[in-house]
Amino acid sequence: MTNVKLAVIYYSMGGTNYQLSQWAAEGAKEVGAEVKVLKVPELAPQSVIEGNPGWKAHVEATAHVPEVKLEDIEWADAIIFSVPTRFGNMPAQMKQFIDTCGGLWFNGKTVNKVVSAMSSAQNPHGGQEATILSLYTSMYHWGAIVAAPGYTDPVIYGSGGNPYGTSVTVGQDGKMIEDVEATVKHQAKRTVTVAEWVKKANQ
């Protein structure tokens, strides 16, 4: 395999999308990709985070994860985004980062990046699909190539059957309801494979 460079970029308050990102990284590495797992900068006030024990614990547990920088977007052949839903849209933290990529976009540095996305919500119809689609809207402006999983493997059905990207329901206890690990890994492998095709075609 061509050495595809994958950036897995996430935002997470309680750890769900961090875990999805970890599984995506594992799946991508299984097919030979070079992977970076990166978080977007936090925008919430420290006082708010401190007042939520679960949020505070997750921030402390992931302090070692580097924050994404514009150079990471330029470096990557492929990008997987993982975000919780906020009123059917991506969180402000992810949107703010994407909004800072205007210079890269203007200079054609986002063209032909292969992208895919994952999401989570507290109920099955809490905006998971809309969140992924809202993120893809920005990617169309980038000139990126969206590598949605579709129904390319039976594991898609076992985790809820979302063709736009892996999505998961998180219970009140903070645990994932559906078993999506295999689906995430399949999505990551598919993203890397499509990026390999694109990379070879451009050589």
Predicted TM-score of the model (pTM): 0.96
The alpha-helical segments, DSSP class H, found in the chain are: 16-30, 46-50, 53-61, 70-75, 92-99, 102-106, 128-142, 155-158, 181-201
Q: What is the per-residue pLDDT for 101?
A: 97
pLDDT at 160 over 90: no
Domain count, the chain: 1
| Domain interval for residue 105 | 5-201
Residue 100 exposed, middle or buried by CB count within 10 Å (0-12, 13-18, 19+): middle
Q: What is the per-residue pLDDT for 124?
A: 84
Query: Could you tell me what percent of the chain has a pLDDT over 70?
Result: 99
Residues 2-8: what's their mean pLDDT?
92
Structure tokens at 18: 């961090």
What are the tens digits of pLDDT across the range 84-128? Answer: 999 999 999 999 999 999 999 999 999 999 999 999 998 888 899
Q: Per mean pLDDT, which range of 61-65, 78-82, 149-153, 159-163 is the poorest?
A: 159-163
Instruction: Report residue 165: phi and psi, to 5°.
Output: 165, 160
Q: What is the per-residue pLDDT for 202?
A: 82
CATH of residue 133: 3.40.50.360
pLDDT at 47 over 70: yes
CA–CA distance, 44 with 49 (Å, rounded to integer): 7
Q: What is the per-residue pLDDT for 2?
A: 64
Could you tell me which residues are beta bridge partners of residue 167?
119
Q: What is the per-residue pLDDT for 20?
A: 97
Q: Per mean pLDDT, which range of 116-125, 130-139, 144-153 is the poorest?
A: 116-125
Residues 32-47: what's their mean pLDDT?
96
Q: What is the per-residue pLDDT for 81?
A: 98
pLDDT grade for 1, boundaries at 50, 70 and 90: low
User: Which amino acid, residue 190?
Assistant: R
